[in-house]
Amino acid sequence: MPILNRIAALGPEMAEWRRYLHRIPEIGFDLDRTAAYVAARLAEIGVDSLHTGIARSGIVAIIEGQAPGPTIGLRADMDALPIHEETGASHASTTPGAMHACGHDGHTAMLLGAAKYLAETRAFRGRVALIFQPAEEEGSGARVMIEDGILERFGIERIFALHNAPGMEFGTVMTAPGPIMAAVDTFEIHVTGRGGHAAMPDETADPIPALSAMASAIQCIVSRNHHALDALVVSVTQIHAGTAFNVVPGTGWLGGTVRSFDPAVQGMVRRRLAEIAVGQAAAFGLTARLDYHVGDPATVNDAAEAAFATEVAREVLGETAVDGAADRQMGAEDFGHFLEARPGAYLFLGQGPGAGLHHPAYDFNDEVAPIGASLLARLVERAQPL
Ligand SMILES: [Zn+2]
Ligand SMILES: [Zn+2]
């Protein structure tokens, strides 16, 4: 069975919804206009119950099937990014400095399309919980919705989500059993020395050589402390110190990101960062403090659910369009919180050539929406057949 005919017919409507949302990008948890629009569409669609204001602007809508059974969750993210749009599209952002540069407008439209089809046809047993989530980009929306108790409250037993992938062949799907996206942490190392006149450096304790040495030493965590065949990224992305040409600053700091898959590796990196901070600072006669912020966990698919989703994707898209054993990505996604709590899988959907995610020229490809919506709908019909 390829793309569902009824969903193909919803293509123009999904594009209209998506373009409306694209014009009104909102960031983080403050998605008032977006959530109001989504809730209005869900009410029109005729879902059986609609629950708004979860995690401030999140929504859960329930559609009942034709017979009793379990509850499956489908999740879309709704938030935009603080990027100034440069697409020149007629549906471009009307809010300067904000845009849907990750295609969450498309994810929302695809889940609305699947909802409309599922509410019309109800060819499944049990219930489907449609989860519209805020604040994916800042990485806490999923966690806050889970802390608000949606999994227990709606009895969600398994959960699926997909993300559009620009640059990946149109209409192809990638997923994998086990880890698919990395855990993401951030760190800051704050160095304290003694400032003074740049002409008399002997009277100072200069943080700048210490920060430089730390940035070099941190490169050795991946190359010297970690197994060569295991994926890990440690990037120093900021160094800050000083305000003038003739002043040695008294303090400075550097910061960066850690992408990992294994809690033991994550622990090793944290320990090495602390050792490098304190040891290098001491070598230069300064003191240092590490602030380490644990972010989203790795997105780890359940092996059986990934195999199931692969099978459903092959049914919709064809045998050769689906890679069920794709390579892990070093990007991150807060859907990992859901997968820590429930079995499920996360999939990438290729939308063809174009600017990459988080780029000011990026735009969601509306042509891919009927494919994504069919995939979401078939996950429900196949997971909980009548
Ligand atoms: Zn993003
Ligand atoms: Zn995204």
According to the model, what pLDDT value does residue 69 have? 97
**Confidence (pLDDT) at 2:** 62
Give, for all 386 residues of the chain, the pLDDT tens digit: 466 778 889 999 999 999 999 999 999 999 999 999 999 999 999 999 999 999 999 999 999 999 999 999 999 999 999 999 999 999 999 999 999 999 999 999 999 999 999 999 999 999 999 999 999 998 789 999 999 999 999 999 999 999 999 999 999 999 999 999 999 999 999 999 999 999 999 999 999 999 999 999 999 999 999 999 999 999 999 999 999 999 999 999 999 999 999 999 999 999 999 999 999 999 999 999 999 999 999 999 999 999 999 999 999 999 999 999 999 999 999 999 999 999 999 999 999 999 999 999 999 999 999 999 999 999 999 999 99
Give SS3 for 255: strand
pLDDT of residue 383: 98
Å from CA of 283 to ligand 2 middle:
42
> How do beta strands 287-293 and 247-248 pair?
unpaired
Report the separation in Å between the CA atom of 76 and the middle of ligand 2, taken as the mean of its atom positions: 10
Cα atoms in the 13 Å half-sphere on the side-chain side of 226: 25
Q: How far is the CA of 308 from the centre of ligand 1 (A)?
A: 26
Q: How far is the CA of 91 from the centre of ligand 2 (A)?
A: 19
Please tell me the distance between residue 204's alpha carbon and the centre of ligand 2 in angstroms: 46
Q: Under a CB-based contact definition with an 8 Å cutoff, are residues 106 and 369 in contact? A: yes
> Using CA atoms, how far apart are residues 372 and 380, in angstroms rounded to an integer?
13
Whole-number pLDDT of residue 122:
96
Round to whole Å and give the CA distance between 194 and 85.
43
DSSP 263: H
Beta partners for residue 240, in sequence order: 253
Can you tell me the distance from the alpha carbon of 66 to that of 136, in angstroms, rounded to the nearest whole number?
33
* Closest ligand relative to 81 C-alpha: 1
DSSP labels, 273-326: HHHHHHHHHHHTT-EEEEEEE--PPPEEE-HHHHHHHHHHHHHHH-GGGEETTP
Distance between Cα 137 and ligand 1 center (Å):
5
Q: How far is the CA of 193 from the centre of ligand 1 (A)?
A: 38
Centre of ligand 1 to C-alpha 204, Å, is 43
131 in helix, strand or coil?
Answer: strand
Span from the CA of 137 to the centroid of ligand 2 (angstroms): 7
- Two structure tokens written together for 95: 């809010």
Q: Which residues face 300 on adjacent strands?
A: 179
- CATH 3.30.70.360 applies to domain 183-293: yes
Q: Which ligand is nearest to the CA of 138?
A: 1
Interhelix angle 104-121/11-23, nearest 10 degrees: 140
Rounded-to-integer distance, Cα 17 and Cα 189, Å: 45
Distance CA 167, CA 355 (A): 8
Q: Looking at residue 139, what is its pLDDT?
A: 73
Question: Closest Cα to residue 265, out of 254, 276, 273?
Answer: 273
Q: Does domain 5-179+298-383 have CATH number 3.20.20.70?
A: no
- The ligand with the least distance to the CA atom of 106 is 2
- Residue 15 burial (10 A CB sphere; 0-12, 13-18, 19+): buried
Residue 60: per-residue pLDDT: 98
What does 201-215 look like in DSSP terms, one character per residue?
GGGSB-HHHHHHHHH
The residue ranges of every structural domain in the chain are: 5-179+298-383, 183-293
